[in-house]
Amino acid sequence: EVARDGIDKARTKPEMGQWAMRDEPLVEDPEYHDRILKQLHSCHDGLTNAAYERMYEASVFRDESMAKTIADRLRRLPEGAGPIVSYTGGGHIQYRLPIPNRVSRRYGMPLRQMTIYLTAFNPDRVQEIQELLQPPIADYVWLTPLGQHGPSRRCL
């Protein structure tokens, strides 16, 4: 709904209360904003600027809501318990910008996080893997076999 209607209109819907996100701040990060908008333009060519901004707001909303869930769970853990493993799409952990930085901000205490970015290895596209390492997209890059449909489109 955020991508279609924008965050302001989506906040008026009953579901926002159900997800406990109606009054949650969506914190801006210039580096995140630039990277996400570049990826949106790369993968969804030809949209209006307003459409790109709504898609960006939807990305921020998803990342903030996932970070909120993780930080809330961390606060409920007994001391010394853990770890928490969160499995998300690679776009939600890239360069620590989407979820990891938001979890740190929301949790507010020292926290050790590790990110693992999964990507299919295609011998014909080794340069793409090297680009993921400089600067590193995650703490670890896990190379998986190509799927039956071949390599996915990169939007980095």
Query: Where residue 24 falls among pLDDT bands split at 50, 70, 90?
Result: confident
Per-residue buried b or exposed e for 55-93, using 16+ beta carbons within 10 Å of the residue's own CB: bbbbbbbbbbbbbbbbbeebeeeeeeeeeeebeeebbbb
- Give the residue from 25, 21, 100, 96 showing the smallest Cα distance to 65: 21
Q: What is the mean pLDDT of residues 125-154?
A: 90
The pLDDT of residue 156 is above 70? no
Query: Where residue 83 falls among pLDDT bands split at 50, 70, 90?
Result: confident
Residue 56, pLDDT score: 94
Q: Where are the domains of the chain?
A: 2-88
